[in-house]
Chain A
Amino acid sequence: MKFDTPAGQNPIDQLKVVGKPTDRIDGKYKTTGMAPYAYERHDVATNQAYGYVLGAGIAKGRVRRIDMTAAKRAPGVLGIVTTLDHPRMERGMMNAAFLFGGDEVQHYHQAIAVVVAETFEQARAAAFLVKVDYDSKPGKFDLAAEAKGAKPVPGDSGEGSGGNGEERVGDFEGAFAQAPVQFDETYSTADESHAMMEPHATIAAWDGDKVTLWTSNQMIAWGHGSLAKILGVPKENVRLDSPYVGGGFGGKLFVRADAVLAALAAKAVRRPVKVALTRPLVMNNTTHRPATIQRVRIGATKDGIITAIAHESTSGNLPDGDPETAVSQTKLLYAGANRLTAMKLAHLDLPEGNAMRAPGEAPGLMVLEVAMDEMAEKLGMDPVEFRIRNDTQVDPQDPKRPFSHRDLVGCLRLGAEKFGWSKRNAKPGQVRDGQWLVGIGMAAAFRNNMVMKSGARVRLAADGTVTVETDMTDIGTGSYTIIAQTAAEMMGVSLDKVAVRLGDSSFPVSSGSGGQFGGNSSTAGVYAACVKLREAVAQRLGINSADAVFADGQVRAGNRAAPLGEAARQGEVTAEDTIEFGDISKKQQQSTFGAHFVEVGVDAYTGETRVRRMLAVCAAGRILNPKSARSQVIGGMVMGTGAALMEELAVDTKRGFFANHDLAGYEVPVHADIPHQEVVFLDEVDPMSSPMKAKGVGELGICGVGAAVANAVYNATGIRVRDYPITLDKLLDRMPDAA
Chain B
Amino acid sequence: MKSFTYERPNTPAEAAAAVARTPNAKFIAGGTNLLDLMKLQIETPTHLVDVNGLNLDKVEATPEGGLRIGALVRNTDLAADPRVWKDYGVLSRALLAGASGQLRNKATTAGNLLQRTRCPYFYDTAQACNKRQPGSGCSALDGVSRSLAVIGSSETCIATHPGDMAVAMRVLDATVETVDAKGGERRIPIAEFHRLPGDRSEVDTTLKLGELITAVTLPKPVAGTHIYRKVRDRASYAYALVSVAAILGKDGSGHVAFGGVAHKPWRVEAAEADLPHGAKAVTAKAFAGAKPTEDNAYKLKLAERTLAAALNQARA
Instruction: Name A residues whose Cβ lies closer than 8 Å to a Cβ of B.
Output: 57-58, 75, 121, 124-125, 128, 280, 435, 603, 605-608, 610, 645-646, 650-652, 654-655, 659-662, 664-665, 667-673, 727-729, 732-733, 735, 738-739
**If A738-B305, A739-B278 touch, does A659 touch B121 (CB 8 Å cutoff)?**
yes
Interface centre among A605, A651, A673, A738 (most CB of B within 10 A): A605
Give the Cβ gap from B237 to chain A, nearest Cβ, in Å: 5
Measured CA separation A645–B124 after assembly (Å): 25
The interface residues of chain B lying within 8 Å CB-to-CB of A128 are 41, 125
The interface residues of chain A lying within 8 Å CB-to-CB of B182 are none
Q: Which B97-146 residues have a C-beta within 8 angstroms of A?
A: 118, 120-121, 123-127, 139, 142-144, 146
Counting CB contacts under 8 A, is B208 at the interface? no
Q: Knowing that A124-B39, A673-B235, A728-B231 are A-B contacts, what are 19 other residue pairs whose CB atoms are under 8 Å apart, sorted by A's residue number? A: A121-B1, A125-B1, A128-B41, A128-B125, A435-B309, A605-B305, A605-B308, A608-B231, A645-B233, A645-B234, A652-B139, A670-B237, A672-B235, A727-B233, A728-B302, A732-B301, A738-B308, A739-B308, A739-B312
Give the Cβ gap from A463 to chain B, nearest Cβ, in Å: 46
Contact A662 B123 (CB under 8 A): yes
- Mostly, the A contact residues are loop
- Mostly, the B contact residues are loop
A interface footprint on B290-311 (CB within 8 Å = 1, 0 otherwise): 0000000010011001101101
Smallest CB-CB separation from B313: which chain A residue?
A: A435
- Could you write out 5 A-B pairs with CB less than 8 Å apart? A608-B231, A652-B143, A659-B121, A665-B120, A670-B234
Measured CA separation A738–B237 after assembly (Å): 26
Give the Cβ gap from A311 to chain B, nearest Cβ, in Å: 29
Contact of A659 (CB < 8 Å), options: B143, B229, B234, B305: B143
Contact of B144 (CB < 8 Å), options: A652, A664, A671, A739: A652
Give the Cβ gap from B236 to chain A, nearest Cβ, in Å: 4
**If A124-B1, A670-B237 touch, does A732 touch B298 (CB 8 Å cutoff)?**
yes
Contact A608 B308 (CB under 8 A): no
Contact B234 A646 (CB under 8 A): yes
Interface centre among B41, B118, B121, B298 (most CB of A within 10 A): B298
The interface residues of chain A lying within 8 Å CB-to-CB of B1 are 121, 124-125
Counting CB contacts under 8 A, is B20 at the interface? no
Contact of A732 (CB < 8 Å), options: B123, B236, B302: B302
A interface footprint on B12-23 (CB within 8 Å = 1, 0 otherwise): 000000000000
Contact A673 B41 (CB under 8 A): no
Contact of B124 (CB < 8 Å), options: A646, A659, A733: A659
Going nearest first, the 7 A-B pairs with the smallest beta carbon separation are A57-B126, A605-B309, A729-B298, A672-B235, A672-B236, A659-B144, A650-B144
Contact A729 B143 (CB under 8 A): no
Smallest CB-CB separation from B242: which chain A residue?
A: A606
The interface residues of chain A lying within 8 Å CB-to-CB of B41 are 125, 128
Contact of A661 (CB < 8 Å), options: B120, B234, B238, B302: B120
**If A124-B39, A732-B298 touch, does A667 touch B233 (CB 8 Å cutoff)?**
yes
Interface centre among B239, B278, B302, B305 (most CB of A within 10 A): B305
Interface centre among A667, A729, A732 (most CB of B within 10 A): A729
Measured CA separation A667–B118 after assembly (Å): 14
The interface residues of chain B lying within 8 Å CB-to-CB of A672 are 234-237
Counting CB contacts under 8 A, is B157 at the interface? no
Smallest CB-CB separation from B308: which chain A residue?
A: A739
Q: Which B240-274 residues have a C-beta within 8 angstroms of A?
A: 241
Contact B234 A667 (CB under 8 A): yes
